[in-house]
Amino acid sequence: MKVLVRKDAYFDSVVLMLLSRELKGRPGVKDAVVAMGTGMNLGLLASTGCTAADLAGATPNDLVIAVDCADPAIADATLVAAEAALTRRKGTGGTGAQGVREPATLEGALELVPAANVAVISIPGAYAAREARKALDRGLHVMLFSDNVTLDDEIALKTYARSKGLLVMGPDCGSAILNGKPLCFANVVRRGPVGVVAASGTGLQEATVLVDRAGSGISQAIGTGGRDLKNEKVGGITMLMGIEALAADPGTKVIVVISKPPAPAVAAKVVAALEATGKSAVVHFIGLAPAAAAAGSRVRFAANLEEAAGLAVAIAEGKTYAPRMFAQSDAEIAALVARETAGMAKTQRFIRGYFTGGTLADEAWIALHALTGAVWSNNQTDAKFVLADPKTSVGHTVVDLGDDVFTVGRPHPMIDPSTRTERIDAEAGDDSIAVMLVDVVLGYGSHADPAGALVPSLVAAKQAAVKRGGRLAVVASITGTPDDFQGYARQQATLEEAGIVVMPSNYQATKLAVRIMEKVVANAGGAR
């Protein structure tokens, strides 16, 4: 293990992730991490074997290169290669591979696109607030992809932006669709009457693709960042401005709000703001039981993301929404359950959810925890069921592989599926697993063939179960549309040809997994 700290050097997080992956592919390199020296990153680097002496003096302004190699000579050569790659990258501001200028500053970008009114910012959090302020000063709305922005900076930026009539989406905002254009992690959906404001990236993606699948479309989809509603000091500034914008938008008939549980006072402000628009609205607070709509209210509350999308489309079309659990008939679901549980061994009694989307993982955890009362996760609020080691599953486990603990020095698993496939490969020998539950997220930012990258590990896990005398059920959902460049139909065919059950939504996939587990429990005589 060798570590190099470069003082006062910062690079875009995606550049660092891709360089980490490149270094790990070199012969003799066991592992490599290239990351900024934030407190979280230093803690994670320490857990991989870096010593306190290795990391001494590193600050969030510094770049850390850590390599674990077969011998010292390879480690030295790898550090040299890393520095050379970063030096070449530092020279950006010239012409990219497609012959397009790559400006190195906001000012340079505005020279190329003087009519731009949105800036997407993805740099280390220590510098992101400063760049966001520059963009706001230039009259630009800001999509702040960066995380590790302080709470005080977020409040100051959003307060300043509001005074100028501008939006700050973020920090840690990964998805938006503005005027039909997907930004960062987002899908290609048709235009239509449903507007969305969401404090959840994959929640926004799942809702918008389900609206598209129902034959309707999206006017605008605005991300807020996770703290916007959860933290009472932020007070839902972006959410409230997003609602106001959609209220004034003639192309929006129905407003959808999606968030993890907000601060109660902020939730009340959001509902009041929706009522004041005079437009119909649908609210889904993930993890909270839907509230009853008040008499005469134009605000409806949904129990899950699929219901939120379905309600919105029905209201926009002047129809009545009919709640459902499955698109298939009861007989078809029963046949699926019977097929997927046939031949399971008595030792198989647990479910494992391996997710790339945090909100999709939450939706699955909520449903499965209700079944068993004991589902472990790296990303849940009940301390009794937080994984002691997030990299090792225990019993029933739903893991969000996009969590920070898994992404230091490597791309998000939507970009690089190896984080998930390595986890599946490591646990494929566990004879207690009955069901694997996975999401496949398409769209901009995501891997070119997420299903194709995932299938070999899932097939190997299924084959291993058969060799042990059992059967492994794998259930998947696809968050995407036919117009996403990965191709929804191609992704579905890849999964189904490998014997994986594909359901129309994450909600339905989770409910099918619950049905399979109920059958597993029944076959085991009631033991969970």
Residue 57 has pLDDT above 90, yes or no: no
Over residues 485-498, the mean pLDDT reads 97
User: Facing residues of 311 across strands?
Assistant: none
pLDDT tens track for 414-428? 988 999 999 999 999
Residue 6 has pLDDT above 50, yes or no: yes
Over residues 284-306, the mean pLDDT reads 89
Weakest mean pLDDT among 51-60, 380-389, 517-526: 517-526
CB 150 within 8 A of CB 129: yes
Residue 13 has pLDDT above 90, yes or no: no
Give the model's pLDDT for residue 91: 53
Q: What is the crossing angle of helices 330-341 and 506-523, to 10°? A: 60
Over residues 389-398, the mean pLDDT reads 94
User: What is the C-alpha separation between 118 and 19, in angstroms, rounded?
Assistant: 28
Q: What does the block give as tokens for 517? A: 């587990």
pTM: 0.86
- The mean pLDDT value of the chain amounts to 91
Residue 528 has pLDDT above 60, yes or no: no
pLDDT tens track for 206-246? 999 999 999 999 999 999 999 999 999 999 999 999 999 99
Weakest mean pLDDT among 100-114, 264-278, 351-365, 452-466: 100-114
User: What is the C-alpha separation between 375 and 158, in angstroms, rounded?
Assistant: 37
pLDDT over 90, % of the chain? 72
- Class of residue 250 by CB neighbours under 10 A (exposed 0-12, middle 13-18, buried 19+): exposed
302 by DSSP, 3-state: which?
Answer: coil
Give the model's pLDDT for residue 18: 78
Give the model's pLDDT for residue 101: 66
User: What is the C-alpha separation between 263 and 236, in angstroms, rounded?
Assistant: 9
Confidence bin at 9 (pLDDT 50/70/90): confident
Give the model's pLDDT for residue 255: 98
Q: What is the crossing angle of helices 418-427 and 450-467, to 10°? A: 0
pLDDT tens track for 367-379? 888 877 889 999 8
- Describe the strand order of the beta sheet including 218-223 as a list of residue ranges: 181-184, 175-178, 218-223, 191-198, 254-259, 280-285, 299-301
Give the model's pLDDT for residue 95: 47
Give the model's pLDDT for residue 158: 98
215: left (phi over 0), alpha (psi -120 to 50) or beta: left
Helical residues (DSSP H) of 91-226, grouped into ranges: 106-112, 125-137, 151-163, 201-213
Give the model's pLDDT for residue 94: 46
Closest listed residue to residue 172, CA positions, set 139, 132, 125: 125
Over residues 453-467, the mean pLDDT reads 97
Task: Please name each of the domains of the chain with its CATH number.
Answer: 2-90 (3.30.70), 106-316 (3.40.50.261), 330-523 (3.40.50.261)
Buried b (16+ CB within 10 A) or exposed e, 414-452: bbbbbbbbebbeebbeebebbbbbbbbbbbbbbbebbbb
Confidence bin at 96 (pLDDT 50/70/90): very low
Confidence bin at 447 (pLDDT 50/70/90): very high
Give the model's pLDDT for residue 97: 45
Confidence bin at 521 (pLDDT 50/70/90): confident
Over residues 185-196, the mean pLDDT reads 97
- How many Cα atoms within 13 Å fall on the side-chain side of residue 354? 27
Residue 122 has pLDDT above 90, yes or no: no
User: What is the C-alpha separation between 391 and 48, in angstroms, rounded?
Assistant: 12
Over residues 492-510, the mean pLDDT reads 97
pLDDT tens track for 123-182? 877 789 999 999 999 999 999 998 889 999 999 999 999 999 999 999 999 999 999 999
- How many Cα atoms within 13 Å fall on the side-chain side of residue 224? 29
Residue 409 has pLDDT above 80, yes or no: no
Confidence bin at 90 (pLDDT 50/70/90): low
Weakest mean pLDDT among 39-43, 193-197, 233-237: 39-43
Residue 399 has pLDDT above 70, yes or no: yes
- Class of residue 27 by CB neighbours under 10 A (exposed 0-12, middle 13-18, buried 19+): exposed
Residue 292 has pLDDT above 90, yes or no: no
- Describe the strand order of the beta sheet including 118-121 as a list of residue ranges: 118-121, 141-144, 168-169
pLDDT tens track for 265-280? 999 999 999 999 999 9
